Amino acid sequence: MYQVFAPGRVELLGNHTDYNAGVVMSAALDLGTTVTGEASAGSRIRLRSAGFPEVIVDASEPLHPSGGWSDYPVGVIAKFIEAGYEVGGFEAEFSTNLPVGAGLSSSASIEVATAVLLCRMFDWEISPMDLARLCKKAENEFAGVNCGILDQVSCIFGKRQHAIFLDCRKESVQRVPFPEGVELLIVHSGVKHALTGGEYNERRDQCFEAARTLGVPALRDASTADLSHAGLSDVVRRRAAHITGENERVFAGLSALELGDLETFGRLLTASHMSSMENFENSTPELDSLVRIATSQPGVLGARLTGGGFGGAIIALVMAENIETAKVEILSKYLTDMEIDTDAYHCRMGDGAIPDA
């Protein structure tokens, strides 16, 4: 019997930069998906997850999406088969302690848990970055979500008390020690985030349109200063300004972390949220309310939406000694402001599924 844990992730800075060949800073969480599994004779695959009907597929027959949670593991199985790996029969049971619909990459954690389980069960040697690419392919082509590579990389490469700096053009990862004394508070807006809606793809298209108009391969190759006289429509210019601003904030955030300057790091988080509000328009009134409330609490260094946006959760960077009070205050003020009774999670930066990757 094999057991694999793959965490969820938070995006710290670098919103929607991954599919623009840009840079991102993220961290794996100490919450995630656990899968236990065992190989069996033949080609029958049984997948279980508490609260859902069992799913049975056959590795020797064509695999198709069903629209349910099993598209994530089955998509990974399909991509391994497509890449020429001999997937045999097995049984696997999944469980998660990640809040659903919070934008903390529960789907990537299921994909990565499945991929690592398969490698262990069938004794395959694959580089961690190739595993991330395969899981992303499963999400893009099987689950039908056009995401970048951020989520899968974060779930694999995370490290306890470290941020991950990912350069999406080079596909290179650097682990950056995160100073002690400041912790992460995740607050769910109570409004589910789902990337299957059209907004994510629309933003993606607007970014690609901006790069085409600017005559650059990707928005990674433009700076905020390049945008003012480029003949972009107002909407497309604001979308592009979010991406160029985010890339700039990620580099500034990296320097701040290296100097142990968490106040600056926190300010960058809040600036990122303001840009989501004004430029990228991927925030919601609920997320804005949470950020406003969080940033007015003592000991909160900064806050922003995390991940795709359009719902989900915010992250707040909070001094350790203030975190419990901040959590209670934010939840109660949010209940008054938005009439939403929600949950907050005090998380630590945890190990990825392959912590020594």
In the annotation, is 205 catalytic? no
Residues 6 or more apart whose Cβ sits within 8 Å of residue 127: none
Is there binding between residue 308 and ligand GLA (CB under 6 A)?
yes
Stretch that binds ligand GLA, among 11-19, 115-123, 289-297, 347-355 (CB under 6 A): 11-19
**SS3 assignment, position 192:** coil
The residue whose Cβ lies closest to ligand GLA is: 147
DSSP class per residue in 313-327: EEEEEEEGGGHHHHH
For ligand GLA, give the closer residue by CB, 13 or 323. Answer: 13
Contact 33, 110 (CB under 8 A): yes
CB of 48 to ligand GLA, least distance (A): 25
For ligand GLA, give the closer residue by CB, 15 or 244. Answer: 15
**Which of 18, 71, 151, 288 is the catalytic position?**
151
Is there binding between residue 47 and ligand GLA (CB under 6 A)?
no
Stretch that binds ligand GLA, among 9-17, 121-129, 174-182, 210-218 (CB under 6 A): 9-17
Residue 197 has a CB neighbour count (10 Å cut-off) of 12
**Residues 198-237 contacting ligand GLA, CB under 6 A:** none
Q: Apex CA 194: angle with CA 3 and CA 335, to 5°? A: 100
Q: Give how far Cα 138 sits from Cα of 73, 124, 149, 210, 257, Å.
A: 9, 18, 11, 28, 33
CB of 277 to ligand GLA, least distance (A): 15
Phi/psi at 316 (nearest 5 deg)?
-125, 140
Is there binding between residue 305 and ligand GLA (CB under 6 A)?
no
Is there binding between residue 15 and ligand GLA (CB under 6 A)?
yes
Is there binding between residue 111 and ligand GLA (CB under 6 A)?
no
Is there binding between residue 151 and ligand GLA (CB under 6 A)?
yes
- Supply the residues annotated as catalytic: 151
